[in-house]
Amino acid sequence: MFKIAHNPKAFLTLKRNVKQGLAVRTQIISVLEKKPCDVKTISKETGLSYAVVLYHLHLLEAENILNRRGRRAYVWHLTGAGQQRLMGGKEARRGIRRGTVHT
C-alpha cells in the first residue's frame, strides 16, 4: 500500500488518507509520544507550519487519538484510543472507559 512506514495512529476513519497527510500526522504523533506539548512546540520540532500542525491535531482529536488539556495554549497528549482501535475484537468495541484500557 504505502512504501513509507507510517504510525498506525496516523490513519483516519473519517477522512481520506493521503501520503502527505499520513506523513505529517506521523511526525506529530512521534513528537507527542515523547511528551505532551503545545502546538508551537510541535511546530518547531517538526518544522511544519503552525496552521498545518493545528489542522492535523484537530483531525486526530476528532478521531479520539488525541486530547487537549488546559486553557489557551492547549497541551496536546495521546489517548489510548489509537492502539485500542488497532487491537480489534472485543476490546475495540468496548472502547476506553474512564481513562483505562480494558483487556
Query: Residue ranges of the domains in the chain?
Result: 16-101
Position 4 scores a pLDDT of 63
Q: Provide the pLDDT confidence category of residue 56 given band limits of 50, 70 and 90.
A: very high
- Whole-number Å distance between alpha carbons of 16 and 20: 11
And the C-alpha cell for 31? 513528537
Residue given cell 480494558 in the structure block:
102
**Placement of cell 502546538 in the chain:** 39
* pTM of the complete model beyond 0.85: no
pLDDT, residue 17, reads 79
Neighbours of 31 (CB within 10 A): 18
| Residue 68: per-residue pLDDT | 87
* CATH code, 16-101: 1.10.10.10
